Structure 1
Amino acid sequence: MTDSNQLLFFLSALGAFNGFILSLYFAVNAKKKIFADYFLSLLLLVLSIRIIKSVFFYFNPGLSNVFIQIGLSACVLIGPFLFLYLKSSTGEKQNWAKHVIPYLIAITVLGVFYPYVEHQAFWSCWIVNAIYLQWFIYIILSLKYIRPIVQKIKEKESLKKIDIWFLSIYLGVAFIWLAYTSARYTSYIVGALSFTFILYLIVLLLIFRSRNESTFFEEKEKYKNKEIDAEMLDLIGQKLSIIIEKELYLNPDFSLEEAAKELKVTKHILSQYVNEILGKSFSNLIKEYRIEKAKRLLETEKNFTIESLGYDSGFSSKSTFFTAFKKITGLTPAEYQKSYSI
């Protein structure tokens, strides 16, 4: 093995080994025993099994066919464990068995009656493609739990550390899927190297979060021991009306920083007021102002398209307007307008 190949082997194998260690960490040594930890642990475990198979197969093509079958079979649970991890982290109720047991039974039956050692062509042509398709479907299904984070990015809202964590896990698994499905055009070892890179990114996030003394699923109390005095509460309550009077929210890029500057208060105090006193985020507050404006326009303006009224209300896109309007009012803009034209 040449020096470059030795380095390649070391980097890719080290990632798989560390994946096993992290899997054990989340299963046993996490600070908080939260059920989502176990799905993350299992996700890292099946990824590590898949990666270690790739590493040894790349550097040892004569690898036992049984080991190859185990590595490929592990892929069938990567997508489900990603989905279950993200879903359980939101607190949603779920039936994990229906996302795991059927696939375990199916891959076991295939392994027994159509073992890789005797049906390599069948596995390569059909089973592997079906596994990657199933993996991709779960990546799409998992997008539901990443969409709120993407929305925050679109609206230039600050991300919490936990948001960055979930986004990193999701994109990491998606990138590994892409690396394997495109391996025929690049190199078979790219998937293993991708896992190593993503794993160390996860380790850096782990260290970062540990240094800030917060667990993986709990943000520190943002405003603990920093109460706003009564005089400041009254002042901000009065000043918030400036945003409505001047219709500052009609600017699609209107931000917390700009609001704080306009109201002559610190960004932190304004954020704390909106979060603690009003019980919502700043972006949601601005959405509500825009929806109220849109409702007035929908009631009075009949000669303009609904989409244009959304832009006139401060929304930057049609989809954002329609989604926010339905969420806040329970009606689509068209349904709302129709109710005022009867």
Structure 2
Amino acid sequence: MLETPRLCLLLIAVVGLVQGMFLLLLLYQQGKRAFCANRWLFVFIIAVCLSFVEDLTDVLLEPSITLYLIPVFLTATFALMPAIFLYFREIAGHSPRWPLLHFAILLPVFVSLVVSVFLILQNFQDLIVNEGEIELELGNHFALGMIFLTVLFGLYLQVAIYMIRTWRVTYRYLRQAGEQLGADEKALRRWVRELLIGISIIFVIFAATTSLDIATTESDWSVVLVQIGFVLVFLRLCHLIAANPALFVQAEWDGQDQPQSTPRYLVDADEIERICRRLATVRDKGELIYDPLVSLPKLAAAVGVTPNQLSFVLNQHLGKSFFDFINEVRTDEASRLLVNEPDRTILDIATSVGFNSKSTFNLAFKKITGKTPSVYRSETLSRRNPIL
């Protein structure tokens, strides 16, 4: 018969696992477009779920069996902070080149914990089992005590470093979000702030529970209360992410079909190059550019970005406005038609490339080439066919 505190821990672990599975399913349903950022949330949630599995094994399995699982469960906690940091790096458009390096610490931690389990089995053959828990006097074994203290200190240090880095990258993201995404800055700031505060609380709770696990082997009500707080915070995080589905989504674009939805993430240098290539493809096709009703949202949808992102790339990296870009492409095509089809009227050519009137065409053409269409045609044709 389970005691009341242990029964509470069992129920809390089950509730936490259900929440984690729900959130994983929710993220999975967002599809491939969201995977680049959400893959790190997957890692974070799986690591959190492993902590709930650990609580289940502590209650349901024999202590001699759970001893072998210590390296797995404790190592998983070292994946939490890098995962959430990489998530915010991804949505901020600053993906690291070697993201897996952030998880390099997992291997030495796992090896250290395997060694500690081996030392326990070697030096504590007569394990003292008290009320379902193994009691060890770590102070009597220097190497074993140092391993656990080093792992615990490493966890605290990692949390502190990554929390600072996460808050910094998030602050930069919020500064750029309004410019590139045209986002509701107040709502976005509130969402990110609540998410970060919730994650910070989770790590404080993790630190507290880890300290309690090492400092004492008793499953008392203090541990139960800490776990209840953990589950409540995790529930709030589930609600936050569920209330903002696909908030940060990367685009799929095959160069032919228009994306089904608009991506919402910041663009980095590599993405700017990809946007420029997509823009060149749309320009070369010409159909949309020569449409008299073309607009910034239509062009952005064809490229696979938001209007704010396209405007950002045009202004900051190509040095021109949307209308300047459209008029330049139309003028280039009109210049070709004026020379290659000399029998066509200027008005016919103007309307074929998207201008609504001859006067508008003349103004745009002269602004770009410095000549009117008629002068450009006559001078170019005369150079091609000089009078002998």
Q: Partner amino acid for 1:209?
A: N
Q: Which amino acid in 2 is paired with 1:38? A: R
Paired position in structure 1 for 2:102: 99
Q: Decide which moves more: 182-191 or 80-89.
A: 182-191
- Check 1:158–1:98 CA distance in 2 against 1; reply closer, same or farther (3 A cut): same
Aligned length: 215
- SS of the equivalent of 1:64 reads helix
1:10 is displaced (CA, Å) by 1.2
Paired residues for 1:1-342 under 5 Å: 1-2=2-3, 6-26=7-27, 28-31=28-31, 32-54=33-55, 56-57=57-58, 62=63, 64-94=66-96, 95-100=98-103, 102-115=104-117, 118=120, 121-147=145-171, 159-183=185-209, 187-209=222-244, 215-217=246-248
What CA distance in whole angstroms lies between the structure 2 residues aligned with 1:110 and 1:4? 31
Q: CA deviation at 1:7?
A: 4.2
Equivalent position amino acid for 1:176 in 2: I
Asked whether the 8 Å contact 1:46–1:74 carries over to 2, the reply is yes
2:34 partner SS: coil
Deviation at 1:96, TM superposition (A): 0.3
Per the TM alignment, residue 58 of structure 1 is displaced from its structure 2 partner at its CA by 6.8
Output one character per residue of 1:263-289: Cα deviation in whole Å (capped at 9) or x when no partner. Answer: xxxxxxxxxxxx98xx99xxxxxxxxx
For residues 61 and 142 of structure 1, do their structure 2 counterparts lie closer, same or farther at Cα, with a shift above 3 Å needed? farther
Letter of the aligned partner of 2:190 in structure 1?
I
- Structure 1 CA distance, aligned partners of 2:118 and 2:152? 11
1:287 alignment partner in structure 2: none
CA gap of 1:7–1:145, structure 2 versus 1, over 3 A, is same
Q: Which residue of 2 aligns with 1:316?
A: none
SS in 1 for 2:117: coil
The whole-number CA distance in structure 2 between the counterparts of 1:120 and 1:50 is 23
| Residue 30 to residue 67, structure 1, CA distance change in 2 (3 Å) | same
Give the secondary-structure state (helix, strand or coil) at the position aligned to 2:85: helix
Structure 1's 54 and 136: CA in aligned 2 closer, same or farther, altered over 3 A? Answer: farther
Deviations 1:106-140 (A, max 9, x none): 22332444436627534432212212221221111
Unmatched 5+ stretches in structure 1: 222-274, 281-342
Q: CA deviation at 1:41?
A: 0.7
Structure 2 Cα separation of the partners of residues 145 and 163 of structure 1 = 13
Q: CA deviation at 1:60?
A: 6.8
CA contact (8 A) 1:165 1:205 kept: yes
Identity of aligned residues (%): 15
Structure 2 length as normaliser, TM-score? 0.46
Closer, same or farther: CA 151–89 of 1 in aligned 2, 3 Å: closer
* CA-CA distance at 1:65 after TM superposition: 0.9
- For the 8 Å contact 1:39–1:81, the answer to whether it is kept is yes
1:11 positional shift: 2.7
Q: Secondary structure at the match of 1:6?
A: helix
CA 1:117/1:166 → structure 2, altered by over 3 Å: closer, same or farther?
A: farther
Distance in structure 1 (CA, Å) of the matches to 2:4 and 2:101: 47
Partner secondary structure for residue 11 of structure 1: helix
What is the SS of the residue equivalent to 1:91?
A: coil
* Larger Cα-atom Rg: 2
SS of residue paired to 1:187: helix
CA contact (8 A) 2:205 2:230 kept: no
Following superposition, the deviation at residue 46 of structure 1 comes to 1.0
Check the 8 A contact 2:51/2:73 in 1, yes or no. Answer: yes
